[in-house]
Amino acid sequence: MKRFQVQHLLAFAMISLMSLPMSLFAQDLKINFFRPYDQSGIHVFETTKDDVTPFDGMKVRVGGNFTQQFQALSHSNTATPVFENETNVNELNGIAPGFNLATANLNVDVQLADGIRLNLVTYLSSRHHTETWVKGGYIQIDRLPMFNSAVLDDIMDIVTIKVGHMEINYGDNHFRRTDNGNSLYNPFVGNLIMDAFTTEIGAEVYAQTNGLIAMVGVTGGEIKGNISPNPDVEKGEAGWLYGRSPSILAKLGYDNQLNDDLRVRLTGSMYTTARSLSNTLYGGDRTGSRYYDVMNGNFTSGRFNPGFRSQVTAIVVNPFVKFHGLEVFGTYEVATGRAANEADTRTWTQISAEAIYRFLENESLFLGARYNQVAGELAGSGTSVSIDRVQVGGGWFVTPNMVLKGEYVVQNYRDFEATNILNGGQFSGLMIEAAVGF
């Protein structure tokens, strides 16, 4: 770990120790409509409207997430040698067992008013960024007490509003994925191959009643603020925001605890943008993949981004069933789009199915398996390829704030051209991960 990364972590540790007397009290404070960072937050998707936490003044809650992995992976390919400056660029680099860089998040949650809270997450250390930087933040509004209106109170009994530069609510996988240092929600070590996650500037409005969930949102369509005109669009055709279109997202679903033993959830989500300078629906995680340096990839190694940076429409369906300690979660996703230099659109599909069994007191032990596959056309060549992965593993919640988990992973790259480094590609091996969340 580089010296200034160590300094960031030490600074966070010093702040935590200095504020220990306050935090021992503060962490007992209850915040409205809040998803905990420990084990109790695992099966939380959108926060519900059932929260009856009383408001007794402004509260500030400081928390964090830390994650460390041990990686023992190997990789191989059958790509035809391609030499540049007498170097075979299709030869894989050697990788050996060892520890990956520890990752850490700083979480600040503030109860601003009755039913109004703020969330801010900062990445202290990540695989890709060596500096501390803000992931995003938002304000969530579940009540409007300042208007003293019975009509508005009735509306807000079912309505939630989120505004900010925030993680967008496309699909349900983002509620179960690893987010840099925050890995307690994920029963595995790696995220999905086509990892739909990004932060954008915008707003989402929810309605929830009797288990029904509806959401509609609008964002700027890009991972950061940008006021430059789109150079790929003629001035006379600039349109909305000088050649950019807003992204529209929506979700419709049902989520209900039918009895003490059975919970059923089914959602369908949509995301679309007609014109973007740099859309990152499948490339918005700037913290990095858990599978370091496999297939000579960059910080997203092990994932696949179809490259729909100019235009994309994506639809995903996610079923979730939990019966006693057994839970099943699935994904069926279709995404169509193109980059700015492409005339025609391409389509990629993704399927994922996972089964987890949690047992012992407080479901502290769990075992699970996941199958994930993506398929579609590559940009440029138009070659139809596929990538599939199997993950088998389990874990132990030592305490509600600490988990130790491991997985054995096998990932295969199929039908890539002979001159592509991913031709006949495979990586496999063991990952062990320890995490803390509070």
pLDDT digits (tens, 9 = 90+) for 176-222: 999 999 999 999 999 999 999 999 999 999 999 999 999 999 999 99
Q: Which pLDDT band, with edges at 50, 70 and 90, does 230 fall under?
A: low
Question: What is the enclosing helix (H) or strand (E) of 166?
Answer: strand 159-167
228 confidence band (pLDDT: 50, 70, 90): confident
Q: What is the rounded CA–CA span in Å between residue 148 and residue 141?
A: 15
- Model confidence at 328: pLDDT above 70: yes
Q: Is 90 exceeded by the pLDDT of residue 384?
A: yes
Give CA–CA dist 180/396, Å, rounded: 20
Shortest CA distance to 167 belongs to which of 133, 129, 138?
138
Q: Domain holding 35: CATH number?
A: 2.40.160.10
DSSP labels for 318-383?
A: EEEEEETTEEEEEEEEEEEEE-TT-SS-EEEEEEEEEEEEEESGGG-EEEEEEEEEEEEEPTTT--
Q: Is the pLDDT of residue 21 over 70?
A: no
Over range 128-149, report the average pLDDT: 94
Residues 390-432 have pLDDT tens digits of 999 999 999 999 999 999 999 999 999 999 999 999 999 999 9
Rounded to an integer, the average pLDDT of 269-298 is 95
For the residues 312-328, what does the mean pLDDT come to? 98
Given a cut of 70, whether residue 86 has pLDDT beyond it is yes
Q: Where do the DSSP E strands lie in 35-147?
A: 59-76, 83-84, 87-88, 98-99, 103-113, 116-125, 133-141
The residue-averaged pLDDT of 314-330 equals: 98
Question: Which residue, among 69, 333, 86, 85, has the nearest Cα to 192 in the 3D structure?
Answer: 333
Whole-number pLDDT of residue 406: 98
Distance of alpha carbon 221 from alpha carbon 273, whole angstroms: 7
Nearest-10 Cα torsion for 344, 80, 193, 378: 0
For residues 103 and 113, the answer to whether their CB atoms sit within 8 Å is no
- Looking at the structure of the chain, the number of domains it has is 1
The answer to whether residues 178 and 189 touch, using CB atoms and an 8 Å cutoff, is: yes
Report pLDDT for 242: 53
Q: What is the pLDDT of residue 44?
A: 97
d(CA 47, CA 32): 9
Identify the residue with better confidence: 205 or 131. Answer: 205
Phi, psi of 234 (to 5 degrees): -65, 150
Q: Between residues 24 and 340, which one has the greater pLDDT? A: 340
Q: How confident is the model at residue 233 (pLDDT cuts 50, 70, 90)?
A: low
pLDDT at residue 47, as a whole number: 96
Tell me if the pTM is above 0.95.
no
d(CA 288, CA 310): 22
Q: What is the mean pLDDT of the chain?
A: 91
Q: What is the pLDDT of residue 245?
A: 86
Predicted pLDDT at 226: 80
Q: Domain residues for 216?
A: 3-437
Q: Residue ranges of the alpha helices (H) in 27-166? A: 150-156
Q: How far apart are CA 176 and CA 188, in angstroms?
A: 9
The per-residue pLDDT for 2 is: 42
| Average pLDDT value for residue range 376-403 | 97
Amino acid sitting at position 10: L
Distance CA 225, CA 199 (A): 11
> What's residue 239's pLDDT?
46
pLDDT band for position 130 (cuts 50, 70, 90): confident
Q: What pLDDT band is residue 156 in, cutting at 50, 70 and 90?
A: very high
Lowest mean pLDDT among 155-159, 222-226, 392-396: 222-226
| pLDDT grade for 5, boundaries at 50, 70 and 90 | very low
State how far the Cα of 368 lies from the Cα of 357, in Å rounded to an integer: 6
Give tens-digit pLDDT for 161-170: 999 999 999 9
Q: How far apart are CA 304 and CA 104, in angstroms?
A: 24
